[in-house]
Structure 1
Amino acid sequence: MATRRRLLPAAAMAVTVGATGLAGAAPAAAALETQVNCTANPGALQPAIDAASPGDTLRVRGTCTGPFTIDKVLTLRGNGQAVLDGNSAGLPAVTIGDLGGSQAHVTLDHLTITHGNAGVGGGIRNNPSATVTLINSTVESNTAQYGGGIYTYGTVHLIRSTVRNNTAGAGGGIMSDTTVVVTLDNSTVERNSAGGGGGLYIRAGSTATLTHSTVRDNTAQVGGGITSEGTVTLNLVHSTVRGNTASDRGGGIDNGGTATLTHSTVERNTSQGGPGSGGGINQQSPSATVTLSQSQVRNNTPDNCAPSGSVPGCVG
């Protein structure tokens, strides 16, 4: 059941219409807020998404059964911690935009996205030119070949959100396509697993920035916490990569691009590939660079950084 009410614009303009005024000018349509009660009707959300106008807000209650597609500017806000359940239907739980490059801008606020199962993007597939922002939300228990929790061709921004317990062939928690932007603020990527990039897999040409965020307890063959491929720019600011495990190399970070750590820590990660496999940070090639600025790489097994001497300031 959906209940709609009109929201007042953020600012109002008083117009006096006179002989030389703006007679006949139509006021801008106000955004609508629609109540979607999935407790009463688990299938209510997708029809509400389809009926919504760009800029509207859907206030969601209960567990909604999907999967879901959102191809417009829209905010979904949970009452409590509402659930978007992909129903293990062989598709992403939530698909943002389309492959044609639509300008979808979607905010998911106080929601749990779960039970997606897809080739690309188990929990969320964010298509080209689309932007998705997660606020106080959780992406958990999804599976995919690429991007178990989230796969993004566009821009993704996590704020006070968590990506956990997802699995994939590559990018257990989050995987980017090429030349995209991934931003995490006060967020956590934990207990995800993959063949490469247990927590995050960032592909060539992309930029990933983690601020006051944590990547922990993820597992992979390569890059237990983070894998960066080729010309990636990876920035960690006041962030931690901790307790991740790789069966081959790069327990914490398997770095192929340019990484800068500022006031950050890589600690207690493990690589099971033996000495020189980069328990903390593994440098994929001589062209890969890591800059440590007031940051520490410590207590990793079997070593902190590999090859030895490849990361200035990293010893042991």
Structure 2
Amino acid sequence: MTANKHIRLVKWYSIVLLTLGMHSGAFASSSIDAQCPSEDFEAFVEVFASQPEIQTAFTDSPVQEIRVVFDGDKPKVVKRKLKTLDPAELSVLIPEKAAELNLTIKVELPDKVIVRDGVGGFLKIFAFKHTNCWVLSSVEDWSLENVLEGVARTESFTPGERELKKGVWFDRLANHASPESGVYLYASALDSYLAGAQNGSPRAALSAAGISLSGQAPRLDNTKILDLLMMASKSIPDAGLTLADFYCDEGEYDDEHACINPQLSMTALEDAARKGSNIALTRLGEVYETGTLQPADLPRAMACYQEAKKNGLESRGVARLADQGVFANNSIQCLKAGSF
């Protein structure tokens, strides 16, 4: 084979590779294997974050992108493959830039970098894969501020409601994410709820306590959870039920033990009932029937069940106690006279 013919074959083969989309991505990165910044992921990320030429060489093509967009009145998850990635997407990996935007950067071994703020406004997940070196394979942008701006054009938010809505969306979007990414969406939901509570939303306070106690989001200190539940129960009657439970178990559902603080639990139930919670009335009936928080008092239990029934909540307690010979006595009330 002559030299000219060999050159023509090489050029033709290169054209074929380009046509098939094989002359980028893995090929591009493999061509500089000797220049791999580091096999250690944390050290690699440090170099990758600050050097555009390294970013270009060690970003997959196509790179997977997941982004949340505004769709009518709710967020929509869009997945697409990009031949190239806008360098601006990677600017938040630079520590100085992240600090300017009040963002934190967390290198999550073995292969992810998480960039987020502390109020549920910003969340990006950069995922890498390893072949001959580390290569950025996907970028997940779960930030919701643009979506909320779209909703704000048609809706007005009361104090804390914007953060509450954002928390609810993060909570739901976790179902569309991988289990690994979902952890951070739940954490952002908690951050959003806490921000909403700080801005005066009792529902955000209740949601923050609930998602923390559920185990989906990071566990808050018991003192913080108690503060949130007390705030919520002031204006949400049924929140008093969660508060009553927390006084008893402090969120340790798996441990079977006597109520830790029965008097405070009882007070929370009574307060919830006074504020209009029919479920609290039923729970009080159960307490008086079983004697779990204080000595059993069947006539008072019947009064609680009857009060709940009068308010439209069906209860088997009335029939159950009637079978035991306990009947309604108008001189006995579930709560003190004048409570309702």
TM-score range, shorter chain: 0.3 to 0.5
Specify which structure has the bigger relative contact order, considering alpha-carbon pairs within 8 angstroms and separated by 6 or more residues. 2
TM-score (norm 2): 0.33
TM-score (norm 1): 0.35
